[in-house]
Structure 1
Amino acid sequence: MDSATVGKHPCPECGGDLQWNAAKQSLACPYCGTIVPWSPAQEALGEQVAELDLVKALAEHPADQRGYGDDAQRREVQCQSCKAISVFVDGKVADRCEFCGSPSIIDHQSLGDAVTPQSLLPFKISDGQVRDSIRKWYGTRWFAPNRLKSAALTDTLKGVYLPYWTFDAHVSASWTAEAGYHYYETESYTENGERKTRQVQRTRWEDASGSLQHFFDDELVPGTVGVHQALLQQIGTFPTTTDLKPYSPEFVRGWLVERYQVDLRQAAQRGEASMQEQTRALCSADVPGDTQRNLQVQASFRGRTFKHILVPVWLVSYTYGSRSFQVLTNGYTGQIAGERPYSWVKIFFASLAALIVAMLLLVVFGGNR
Structure 2
Amino acid sequence: MTEWLGSLWFAPNGLQEYARKGRAMQGIYIPYWTYDADTKSNYSGARGDVYYVTQRVQVKRNGKMVTETRQVPKTRWTPTAGRVARFFDDVLVLGSKSLPKTYTDALAPWDLSALEPYDPQFLAGFRAESYTVKLDEGYAEARTYMDRMILRDVKFDIGGDKQRVTSVDTSVSDVTFKHVLLPIWMAAYKYRGNTYRFVVNGQTGTVRGERPYSKIKIAIAVIIGLIIAAAAGAYFAANG
Q: Report the TM-score when normalising by structure 2.
A: 0.85
Higher normalized strand content (fraction of residues): 2
Runs of 4+ in structure 1 off by over 6 angstroms are 356-369
**Letter of the structure 2 residue corresponding to residue 201 of structure 1:** P
Range that drifts further, 323-332 or 307-316: 323-332
What pairs up with 1:205-224 in 2 under 5 angstroms? 205-224=77-96
2:52 to 176, 184, 193: 184
1:309 to 160, 180, 205: 180
What's 1:290 paired with?
Answer: 161
CA contact (8 A) 1:156 1:318 kept: no
The offset of 1:268, in angstroms, is: 1.1
Where do 5+ consecutive residues of structure 1 fail to align?
Answer: 1-133
With 297-306 and 251-260 compared, the bigger mean Cα shift is at: 251-260
* Kept in 2: contact 1:188–1:195 (CA 8 A): yes
**Aligned mate of 1:276, from 147, 153, 160:** 147
- What is the DSSP-based 3-state SS (H/G/I as helix, E as strand, rest coil) of the residue aligned with 2:170? strand
Q: 1:184 touches 1:201 (CA, 8 Å); kept in 2?
A: yes
Q: CA deviation at 1:308?
A: 0.5
Query: What per-residue deviation string (whole Å, max 9, x for no partner) do you get for residues 224-250 of structure 1?
Result: 22222212222221111x111000100
Distance 2:17 2:94 in 1: 31
Is the contact made by 1:228 and 1:326 (CA closer than 8 Å) also made in structure 2? no
Q: Where does residue 148 of structure 1 map in the other structure?
A: 15
- Alignment partner of 2:32 out of 164, 188, 213: 164
* Count of paired positions: 235
Name the SS of the counterpart of 2:82 in structure 1. strand
- Secondary structure of the 1:254 match is coil
The residue type equivalent to 2:82 in the other structure is G
The structure where helix makes up a greater share of residues is: 2
CA contact (8 A) 1:284 1:295 kept: no
Q: Secondary structure at the match of 2:96?
A: coil
Contact kept? 2:2, 2:23, Cα under 8 Å: no
1:353 deviation in Å? Answer: 5.2
Shift of 1:354: 5.2
Contact persistence 1:227–1:326 (CA under 8 A): no
The letter for the 2-side match of 1:233 is D
Q: Is the 8 A contact 1:162 1:312 kept in 2?
A: yes
| Percent pairwise identity | 34
Structure 2: segments with no counterpart, 5+ residues: none
- Between 274-283 and 357-366, report the one with greater CA deviation: 357-366
**Which TM-score applies when normalising by structure 1?**
0.57
Structure scoring higher RCO (CA < 8 A, sep ≥ 6) equals 2
Distance 1:286 1:364, change over 3 A: closer
SS in 1 for 2:73: strand
Query: Would you say the 8 A contact 2:57–2:68 is kept in 1?
Result: yes
1:42-91 Cα distance to aligned partner (Å, 9 max, x none): xxxxxxxxxxxxxxxxxxxxxxxxxxxxxxxxxxxxxxxxxxxxxxxxxx
Q: Measure the CA separation in 1 of the matches of 2:17 and 2:220.
A: 23
1:260 maps to which residue?
131
Distance 1:175 1:147, change over 3 A: same
Among 170, 175, 184, the alignment partner of 2:43 is 175
Counterpart of 2:74 in structure 1 is 202
Alpha carbons of structure 1 residues 261 and 321: separation in structure 2 relative to 1, 3 Å: farther
